Amino acid sequence: MDQNMNLKHFNKSILFDLLGNNEANINILIDNYFKEIYTLLKQLRKSANNNDISTLSQYAKKIATASKSVCFELMHVMAIEIENIDISNTKKLNEFIDEMENELELIRDIINPHQ
């Protein structure tokens, strides 16, 4: 992840530009993301634990696409990078998924700092 130092947890300015500064639409998009992302991560973990590379790849791509759509840059890259981890190394995959969950908590804190 060192090469991703210039990426942001949440690139708010790009998302605002993409959605014409429509804060209501931005909030809906982000809310929908958080409604789905934890289910996707559970499925990703299940695929890792079952050594199912095909399903793991599908969920990683879904997470990457969803993360890119809300400009969660690091999460997007993390989802892409998970496919480079050896599927037989379940411990490493699960640790990486833990890092993804931690990244989501950081993003939540950035978006809603007073919750």
- Which of 51, 36, 62, 60 is CA-nearest to residue 91? 51
Task: Output the pLDDT for position 1.
Answer: 47
Give percent of the chain with pLDDT exceeding 70.
94
- Mean of pLDDT over the chain: 92
Structure tokens at 102: 């931690």
Structure tokens at 13: 């300015």
Residue 63 DSSP one-character state: H
Give residues with Cβ within 8 angstroms of 57, minimum separation 6: 83
Give the C-alpha separation, 14 to 67, whole Å.
13
State pLDDT tens for residues 23-73: 999 999 999 999 999 999 999 999 999 999 999 999 999 999 999 999 999
Q: Which domains does the chain carry?
A: 6-111 (1.20.120)
Specify whether the CB–CB gap between 45 and 82 falls below 8 A: no
